[in-house]
Amino acid sequence: MERMLPFTAEHEMFRKSFRSFLEKEIAPKYPEWEKNGIVDRDAYRKMGEQGYLCPWVDEKYGGTGADFLYSLIIGEEIARLNLTGFFVFLHSDIVAPYIDSFGTEEQKMRWLPDCVSGKKILAIAMTEPNAGSDLAAMRTRAVRDGNSYVLNGSKTFISNGILADLVVVAAKTDPQAGARGVSLFVVEAGTKGFERSKPIPKIGMHAQDTAELYFEDCRIPAENLLGQEGYGFYYLMQKLQQERLVAAMINQAVAEHCLEITLQYVKERQVFGKPLSSFQNTQFCLAELATEIQIGRTFVDALILQHMANKNVVQEVSMAKYWICEMVNRVATRCLQLFGGYGYCSEYEISKLFVDARVQTIYAGTSEIMKLIISRGLGLK
């Protein structure tokens, strides 16, 4: 089925060149990153040199002012080469937009060029050990003290937590005001009182560094406040639409890749003297998965168009994040089954797709939180 998105010849040229870049510069090194539990910093610099980081950023900050389809292409190609532990989409399309949308001109001039070049790597710190998806329950405090804020608290499961040079941190500036007492701050690596744990071991996504962050009497300049004090929760809610859309986009492409490699495998694999693809069970299973994947593709592409038109699709994006991340787990599980015992062997790509898919229903808002948001949108309380 032809996609509804308005890709141009320039988009397709960009896709081709970016895929070539990934195959040459990233894919050969990725197994080593998985082994080490972290991506080489140099990979971000190489991405930046080619204009592949934050392509949407205005030219005066070093970007090219590209449309959202370029971000989509970058995410899709990373997913289709099974490189999803390389979290450039977090850097470019989830964290950098906070600086661009809520930063002062001075902050944007100070930080965005280095984000575009890859000299500075970004992370965002919302989740806390005892708060999880409940952002309003966060305990990290930021107290104004003259020309500084003093941060105390901790954050956990922070993607890019080891690599990050700039971390957008959510903290309570008014503990009595609930969600309205949250503010956002940019904390720079090397700031006294800012420490990180060792990388958190995970069952999948091994190349992506995840860490706990600690703030103990961490004094940051008042000019590192992002936007207005007390508006942090509003800013987070405003940007979660794109974050969850990005998650849906990436996982849609992963599901398509799972199907692609499984179709190839079942045509080549011989069972009882016949191709595995000739058995009705195989045919019906893949027919079902292909149908689910096509439904997901149609839904995601429609949401991308709405998002690019600046429509409020929080309800629908929450549906997409929930359904597609659950779907990719179903697809990876059933595709692995068709590989038989080989699917459980780590040298087969499907095994990595299977373990990496598991976290998708958890991060960027769990499936349960997505269903809660959807329910509220239906007027259910």
List, by residue number, the catalytic residues: 243
Cβ-proximal residues to 310 (8 Å cutoff; 6+ apart), any chain: none
Q: 17 in helix, strand or coil?
A: helix
Cα separation values, 206 from 175, 312, 331, 358, Å: 36, 34, 21, 13
Q: What are the backbone dihedrals phi and psi of residue 117, each rounded to the nearest 5 degrees, phi first?
A: -80, -15
How many Cα atoms are found within 13 Å in the side-chain-facing hemisphere of 196? Answer: 24
Please tell me the distance from the alpha carbon of residue 329 to that of residue 224, in angstroms, as a whole number.
39
Please tell me the distance from the alpha carbon of residue 167 to that of residue 221, in angstroms, as a whole number.
14
Cα separation values, 329 from 110, 306, 322, 338, 350, Å: 41, 26, 11, 14, 12
Alpha helices by DSSP H, listed for the chain, are 9-21, 30-36, 41-49, 68-80, 88-89, 96-102, 105-117, 232-268, 280-308, 314-338, 349-357, 367-377
Residue 351 near residue 302, CB atoms below 8 Å: no
| Closest CA relative to residue 222, chosen from 165, 181, 173 | 173
**The pair of three-digit structure tokens given for residue 289, joined into one six-digit string:** 């998965």
